[in-house]
Structure 1
Amino acid sequence: MAKTEGVRVIESVATAVQTVMSRFLKPVGKCPNCDDGQLMVWKSPNRDGELRCPPTCPSCGYAEQLAKGATLTDVDATELAAKNAAKQYLHQNSIVSNKSVFGYTLKGYQPTTPERGQAKIFAAKMADRIVAGATMHATFVGGPGRGKTHLAMAICYNVLARTNYQKKIAFIDWREFLDTVKTGMHENAKDIQAFGDSLINEFANADIVVLDDLGSERGSEYDKALVDRFWRVREDKTVITTTNLSIPELAESYSDRMISRMQKHSTDAIYGMTGIDDYRRG
């Protein structure tokens, strides 16, 4: 009997807490950090109209990052939830060597020269075509430090924002990907191949994949076979590629079949980053 009463007390306290929360807090979207949590904000802002705190999940403590001075009108429940889900998918399904790539936007790409300005215009056009529903195999070609990776990721963010964050995006640093496959705990070559194939299959599910730094690998037969496998699963899905190799050099490095797949949706979608200095050298 005492145990039953204790359970009732706990349930009463939980109900009371929920009642208090519903009086003062409002849900603004699903928590991206836990399964059942909701992001909550105070119903009444402070005297300046700003949120008293960012959207926070009472279940796990996750807090959404918003600009300082955000108001209730800045928090749209549907968009916030979709944005969280898109960001979570990108981070969980990408292989990067430097997480700074997640901060690359079109706004952040400075057209300090006419050539950089033209590259930015090309990227914006690629985003327009993807938003319009076209499947694209866009490619940025040029030496290191020209901004290829920046523009490739910026296209993705632009598309996300204009499609209400309904696209699933993955980023692959190709050399990092190969190192990840080969340095895993494997018993033999067959295990390595199975692991590589499993990762490639995951990339098949994304709406857009950035294939970064293609051609930087050592070029073994296994490397080439994995590139071929990637393009087999992405043949009719959008891919944004960056490479230091010219198109003729790519053709010499990989199979005709792989190059054919890569160029399938590439009409007016290949851009040479010529006349642009290596920004890493100042």
Structure 2
Amino acid sequence: MTQTIAEAINDLFVNYKAKGLMRDCGPCPMCQQPMMVFVNTQTGDDRSLPACPSCGYKESNGTKQHHEDLSVNALKNDAYNYLVNSSAIGDTDVLNKKFSNYQVVNDKQAQAKALAERIADKAASGDVVHGIFSGATGTGKSHLSMAIVYQVLEATHYKQKIAFIDIRELITQIKRGFKDQNIARHYDRVLDKAKQADLVIIDDLGSETTGTNSGDEASRFNLEIVTELLQARMNKSTVISTNLTSNDLINIYGERIVSRMMAHSQGYVMKFDELADYRIKGAV
């Protein structure tokens, strides 16, 4: 059975205690679990201030952390848990993408980053915004989309619920759920949360049409899932990245759905067609 992150961290601390690198230093005032400090094995002196590995509580310069800081930490944990458990991500490398590591080497990339930052500001303010990033694969659309996620979380002090949906991954997992009830239940919840979240990234819209023929059963099923999600996001902040042109989108999803995608998008649409392959250039 795969070990969870929490279990791995607990095992790490047990190992550190066994080697004398850490010690207990009394109960946590928030959760009553043991607080820990790092120890200098040569002198026996403490090398850190007490902290709780269970809930994140810590002391700063010998004083208890302010209650507001603890509240932010709790919100941060909740927001990241929501993101992880409510997303469908094909390539986990996208989780490392932020504005700070988006490499700007030309004016077009500077414009793309500036637009993404404006979308983040709009979404963080609570106003409904639909951002549309269109263009070829590898031009940085997914990077900027995930960067928006982190920017909004930070700007709202982690009070917004956000999901990142690789549309092809979502549909692939939903189909896997036909044979596995655990998968089915999980991705049913993912789809439900993606409809309700404060902000959703719909990444690589149109990729779910690859390998299907218009009118066949698989294509109709894919279209139903996408239509259901897009309809639910009509008046909620959403960022969509796609390789398709506007004509392609209309041909596949119809004018009614595309008009809903484009609602709240005036001034927040970016074509990445003039950008070279971002990944080949070695950008982070």
When the two structures are superposed, what TM-score results if normalisation uses the length of structure 1?
0.73
Distance in 1 (CA, whole Å) between partners of 2:265 and 2:142 is: 18
Distance in 2 (CA, whole Å) between partners of 1:146 and 1:206 is: 27
Distance in 2 (CA, whole Å) between partners of 1:39 and 1:130 is: 39
Q: Show the 5 A alignment for 1:78-89.
A: 78-89=71-82
Q: Show the 5 A alignment for 1:41-190.
A: 51-52=48-49, 55-57=52-54, 76-186=69-179
Which residue matches 2:268? Answer: 269
Kept in 2, the 8 Å contact 1:50–1:72? The answer is no
Kept in 2, the 8 Å contact 1:115–1:274? The answer is no
Residue 151 (structure 1) shift: 0.4
- 1:56 partner letter: P
- Are 1:211 and 2:202 counterparts? yes
Which residue matches 2:259? Answer: 260
- 2:175 partner letter: K
Which residue matches 2:7? Answer: none
Residue 112 (structure 1) shift: 1.6
SS in 2 for 1:21: strand
Residue 149 (structure 1) shift: 0.5
Measured at CA, do residues 222 and 206 of structure 1 come closer, stay the same or move farther in structure 2, by a change above 3 Å? same
Which residue matches 1:238? Answer: 237
Distance in 2 (CA, whole Å) between partners of 1:147 and 1:37 is: 45
Measured at CA, do residues 122 and 55 of structure 1 come closer, stay the same or move farther in structure 2, by a change above 3 Å? farther
Distance in 2 (CA, whole Å) between partners of 1:246 and 1:152 is: 18
Which residue matches 2:26? Answer: 21
- 2:207 partner letter: S
Which residue matches 1:201? Answer: 192
Distance in 1 (CA, whole Å) between partners of 2:130 and 2:152 is: 15
Distance in 1 (CA, whole Å) between partners of 2:32 and 2:231 is: 39
Q: For each residue in 1:103-159, what CA deviation from the matched residue of structure 2 results, as whole angstroms up to 9, or x when unmatched?
A: 211111111221111110111111121122210111111101111001011111111
Distance in 1 (CA, whole Å) between partners of 2:154 and 2:62 is: 20
Measured at CA, do residues 228 and 112 of structure 1 come closer, stay the same or move farther in structure 2, by a change above 3 Å? same
Distance in 2 (CA, whole Å) between partners of 1:53 and 1:103 is: 29
Distance in 2 (CA, whole Å) between partners of 1:137 and 1:258 is: 13
- Are 1:229 and 2:228 counterparts? yes
Distance in 2 (CA, whole Å) between partners of 1:38 and 1:129 is: 40
Higher mean C-alpha displacement, 93-102 vs 161-170: 93-102
Distance in 2 (CA, whole Å) between partners of 1:72 and 1:258 is: 57
Q: For each residue in 1:243-263, what CA deviation from the matched residue of structure 2 results, as whole angstroms up to 9, or x when unmatched?
A: 011122111111222112111
- 2:53 partner letter: T
Residue 93 (structure 1) shift: 0.7
Q: For each residue in 1:60-119, what CA deviation from the matched residue of structure 2 results, as whole angstroms up to 9, or x when unmatched?
A: xx779x9xxx9789x731221111111111001111111122221111111122111111
- 1:203 partner letter: A
Which runs of 5 or more residues in structure 2 are unaligned? 1-24, 38-45, 213-218
Distance in 2 (CA, whole Å) between partners of 1:38 and 1:81 is: 16
Question: What is the percentage of aligned positions where both structures have the same residue?
Answer: 32
- 1:21 partner letter: G
Kept in 1, the 8 Å contact 2:85–2:190? The answer is no
Kept in 2, the 8 Å contact 1:135–1:237? The answer is yes
Distance in 1 (CA, whole Å) between partners of 2:100 and 2:162 is: 19
Distance in 2 (CA, whole Å) between partners of 1:194 and 1:84 is: 23
Distance in 2 (CA, whole Å) between partners of 1:199 and 1:213 is: 17
- 1:200 partner letter: L
